[in-house]
Amino acid sequence: MTALAVVGAQWGDEGKGKVVDLLADRADLVVRFQGGNNAGHTLVVAGRRTVFHLIPSGILRPEVLCVMGQGMVIDPRVLVEELDRLDASGPLDNARLAISDSAHVILPHHLILDRLREESRSGSVPVGSTLRGIGPAYEDKVGRRGVRVGDIFRPEQFARILSATLNHWRPLLEGRGAEVPDVSSVVEETGRLAARFEPCVTDTAGLIHERLEQGARVLLEGAQGALLDVDHGTYPFVTSSNTVSGAACAGAGLGPRHVGGVLAVVKAYTTRVGEGPFPTELPDAVGERLRDAGREFGSTTGRPRRCGWFDAVAARRMTSVNGATSMAVTKLDVLTGIDPIRVCVGYEIGGGPARGFPMRDMDRVTPVYREFAGWNEPLGDIRRERDLPPAARAYVDVLSELAGCPVSLLSVGPGREQTIQVADPFGG
């Protein structure tokens, strides 16, 4: 296998960061292919908790090259903050990080627009934006008025593009009483920040292909989850990019033949941050227990996550859309002590069974549940599948069967070492 794509198969926060960090020990490159600092990947290594919003999760592996692909949108200020935090533990070798010169840049007006847009929805249901400027940055990208990383280092070109872009947005900004950013100030400040990571900026697509020709093994890291995909998710309560495995090719610069497998990551239950339909949500004591035991608070926003039972209908749809070759189940340990455990195995609409996957009617469906026995034994020290309590093993088998995908990894705690390998995700 040349490349393995790691994607979320729920509404994000599935534990992709831990999975990528674990598998990076067997990879040469980790490539983040979409999204921006609206994502947050949490790693726990030797008891130390680290959160990355932009830099790929393989950065804690000293032999791995981390790549920020052209499908990303990058806030220079946030990137510099992450680099500074890494440097606090020892200077980061610039040769270990590659940043696409074609990735688009999040600029001050994007944050202003994001805030204004969310405020304008106050009379209706807000989308739940993280207010990081992600959507407006992608909007400038598809509108062909965006600034790319490579433009930052050509100040005259940067100023020309930004001036035209701000002229496009000026009526909206001034109409809402917002200050239009000064072009020269933005160019100067962004250039100052970019000097920090300029040695890392390169043609990442060409770099990835060079390494593949040398036999490198590549991990493709997605952000958010498939149910937040702008085409396949619960629209309009979605993110602004494609989060499914198919986006890995465009966002990294690879052809489909280079991707040999897809690892879909799911929690043993389901969570969601922000607004939008969530059929299995538990607004009760069980939901609170899951939130507390699983530390379910957004690593980007700090917002409490909505918690609910595992939705096997949604999971099966998303493993199918992603072409998943195996599945990683995380936070199995959080379910310890809950008995019975329920799993959504179907939907009803208007008192009758729903047909297919009713994405347009997700706010109207009623989940149909099956109950399964729980367990009381702690799982954190277990390293072999056969040592799991019988009820836990049976539960994992049920999730695999209902989602239509074999399980390759089980996470039984936040630590890197608290993982059970059931099969090789790389297919070896």
Superfamily of domain covering 3-94+203-421: Adenylosuccinate Synthetase, subunit A, domain 3 (3.90.170.10)
Question: What are the Cα distances from residue 261, in Å, to 5, 7, 92?
Answer: 6, 11, 30
DSSP string, 27-39: -SEEEE-SB-TT-
Helix (H) or strand (E) holding 273: none
| Predicted local distance difference test score (pLDDT) of residue 372 | 98
Q: What is the pLDDT of residues 192-236, one digit of tens each?
A: 999 999 999 999 999 999 999 999 999 999 999 999 999 999 999
Classified as helix, coil or strand, 350 is coil
Give me the catalytic one of 21, 41, 151, 311.
41
- Is residue 392 within 8 Å of 332, Cβ to Cβ? yes
Tokens of 301: 């926003």
For residues 217 and 108, give the distance between their C-alpha atoms in angstroms, rounded to a whole number: 37
B/e letters for 404-427, b = 16+ CB within 10 Å, e = fewer, are ebebbbbbbbbbbebbbebeebbe
264 close to 83: Cβ distance less than 8 angstroms: no
Stated length of the chain: 428
- Orientation of helix 108-120 relative to helix 155-175, angle to 10°: 20
Q: For residue 55, with 0-12 CB atoms within 10 Å meaning exposed, 13-18 middle and 19 or more buried, which class applies?
A: buried
Residue whose C-alpha is closest to residue 13's, from 303, 308, 296 = 296
User: What would the two tokens of residue 27 be?
Assistant: 């990879």
| Euclidean distance between CA atoms 117 and 5, whole angstroms | 33
CA gap 78, 36 in Å, rounded: 10
Q: Domain limits of the chain?
A: 3-94+203-421, 104-198
Token pair, residue 140, equals 């400038």
Question: Is residue 13 flagged as an active site residue?
Answer: yes
Q: What angle do CA 224, 225, 228 make, to 5 degrees?
A: 90
Q: Is 326 in contact with 23 (CB distance < 8 Å)? A: no
Rounded CA separation 344/355 (Å): 15
Long-range CB contact pairs, 141-146, < 8 A, 24+: 141/73, 141/104, 143/168, 146/104, 146/105
Q: So what's the pLDDT on residue 20? A: 93
Given the DSSP bridges, would you call strands 41-45 and 65-68 parallel, antiparallel or unpaired? unpaired
Which portions of the chain are predicted below pLDDT 50? none
* pTM of structure: 0.93
Q: Element (H or E) spanning 129, and its range?
A: none
Measured distance CA(165)–CA(156) in Å, rounded: 14
Q: How many other CB atoms are there within 10 angstroms of residue 95's CB atom?
A: 9
Burial letters 65-79, b for 16+ CB under 10 A, else e: bbbbbbbbbbbbebb
Instruction: List the one residue out of 32, 415, 6, 4 whose CA is nearest residue 225.
Output: 6
Cα diameter, the chain: 66
Residue 84 annotated among the catalytic residues of the structure: no
Question: Given this model, what pLDDT does residue 42 score?
Answer: 72
Which pLDDT belongs to residue 50? 74
At how many degrees (to 10) do helices 312-321 and 390-403 cross? 50
**Which CATH code of 1.10.300.10, 3.40.50.300, 3.40.640.10, 1.10.150.120 fits the domain covering 104-198?**
1.10.300.10
Residue 285 corresponds to which amino acid? Answer: A
Q: Which residue has the tokens 């600029």?
A: 107
Task: Give dist(CA 411, CA 157) in Å, integer.
Answer: 48
Would you call 376 exposed, middle or buried from its count of C-beta atoms within 10 A (0-12, 13-18, 19+)?
exposed
